[in-house]
Amino acid sequence: MRTDAEFEAFYDRHWKYVYRLCFTYLKNEADAEDCTEDVFVKVLTGDFSFEDQTHERKWLTVTAINLCKDRLKSYANKNVGSLDDDRMPEPAAPEPEDYSDVLEAVKTLPPKLKDVIWLYYYEGYSTDEIAAMLGRPPSTVRNQMKDARKLLKNILEGSDTR
């Protein structure tokens, strides 16, 4: 970013999206805020030039997902327990009332499956775009989509066999 005004416009354009993505992964308001801030600190302190707003959004998506995964790994490394463990704090923000069962099921998917489902259905990227963003072959992304759909069906029907 060249000027404060450019960064401010960039931030205003994307902060809600980045926060929502982080909250979906971390399920905690404070952690989502921290991770969102970390994403924008990377932009502010880095020497990035984006081709267009689509490029900005893709970069923000990959960066936010990676930072969220790093944060989740650090929880696991500190022996806090499982993320589903009762000892984990409840999310600080109440869940919106309009959260669907599908979104809740998506949140429970393993990270590699959650990534492809989120990017495809919630962000509208094609499987080829997702493959490029995540550094995976397109066939792998399509197979992960198939696996994720099957798992989601089982979760939603109450027969989760993970």
pTM above 0.75, yes or no: no
Give 102's pLDDT tier (boundaries 50, 70, 90): confident
In the 8-state DSSP scheme, what is residue 119?
A: I
Tell me what the mean pLDDT of segment 18-31 comes to.
89
pLDDT given at position 159: 62
Q: What does the angle CA 127 – CA 130 – CA 132 come to, to the nearest 5 degrees? A: 110
Where do you find CATH 1.10.10.10 in the chain?
Answer: 96-162
Structure tokens at 77: 């490394």
CATH of 96-162, one of 3.40.309.10, 3.40.718.10, 1.10.10.10, 1.10.287.110: 1.10.10.10
**Residue 121 near residue 135 (C-beta atoms within 8 A):** no
In this prediction, what percent of the chain has a pLDDT beyond 70?
80
Where do you find CATH 1.10.1740 in the chain?
Answer: 1-94
Give 142's pLDDT tier (boundaries 50, 70, 90): very high
Domain 1-94 has CATH 1.10.1740: yes
